Amino acid sequence: MDIAKSIDEARAMRYSTPGKIALVPTMGALHEGHLSLVKEGRKHADNVIVYIFVNPTQFAPNEDFDSYPRTVEDDLKKLETVGVNKVFIPDLSEIYPTEDIPCEVDVAALNGILEGEFRPHFFGGVCRVLTKMFNIVQPHYTIFGQKDYQQLQIVTAMVRDMCMPMKVIAAPTMREKDGLAMSSRNVYLSKTERKLSVGLYKALKQAKHMIMSGGETDPEIVESAMKDVINAHHFDSIDYATIRHPHTLQPLDCIEPELSNGVVALIAAHLGKTRLIDNMVIGAGSA
C-alpha cells in the first residue's frame, strides 16, 4: 500500500497514478459506510485515493476531538479489502503549519442554519480542510455520503462557486439492519442507547409516510410527529427535526408544491452523550 504522509508525497502519489482519480475524504474510524464511498468512487474513476485526517478545525473546544476514535491500522486493513492502495495520512502540522495565516472559506447561505446553528465552527473547518485536500490531491471526483446531507450541499456549492475542476458525487446513506445510519460516533452508544437510537430512522419513516401516503402538506404537523417519535424513544434532547428544501435547506410553508423536486427531512438529537444526525429525501423519485 502506498501511504503518503507529507503534502509532497501526496502530490507525487497523485501524479504517478494514471487515469481518473476519485478522492474519498475521511476522519478514519472507518466502517461500511466509508467503504461504500470507495465503491462508489470506483464507479466513476480509475483509481481511488482515501485520506484519513481528524480535522481539529471542525471541532469546538467542548466537542470530542481528543476522544474521537483513531484506528489507523484497522482502517488500512479495511481499505485493503476494497482494493484501496493509495492513502494520504498527514500529521496535524503538515496540514496546519504553525506559521500558517488562516484563510477561511464560507458558504454563508448554508453555514448558519441547522448544523451551523448548533455547531457554528463546523462548516468553516470542513471547507478549509477540504479546500486544502482538493488542492493537494486535485481529484476528478470527490465522494460524499448523503448521511451528512448539509455538508454534501455545502461542499457541492463550494466546488461549483470556486470553479474547482472536479465533480462532487453523492453516495447513499448506509444503514444498520434496524435502520440506524452508520457513523463512527455510534461506538459511543451504550447497549440501551443503541436500541433506542433507531428512533431517528423511525421518525424519518413516519415523515415519509405522512407526506407520501397520507398527503400531509403542512410541514409543522410532520415535524411535530417526527419529534413525538424521537421523544418516544427517550432521546435526551432534539436540536432539530425539520422538513426543508433539498438544496437551499430553507423552511417550507407548504410541502406539496415542492414534492416534484423532493423535500428533505433532517434530524439531529442527543442520546446520552452522543449526538446523532440523519436525513431522508422524500419525493422526486426517492426510494
CB 152 within 8 Å of CB 146: yes
CA distances from 109 to 106, 114, 153, 243 (A): 9, 11, 11, 17
234 in active site: no
Least Cα distance to 27 among 62, 78, 68, 61 occurs for 68
Least Cα distance to 69 among 212, 237, 183 occurs for 183
- Which residues make Cβ contacts (< 8 Å) with residue 12, sequence separation at least 6? 4
> Which residue is catalytic, options 31, 34, 233, 270?
34
Side by side, the strands of the sheet bearing 263-271 are: 237-244, 263-271, 274-282
Catalytic positions are 34
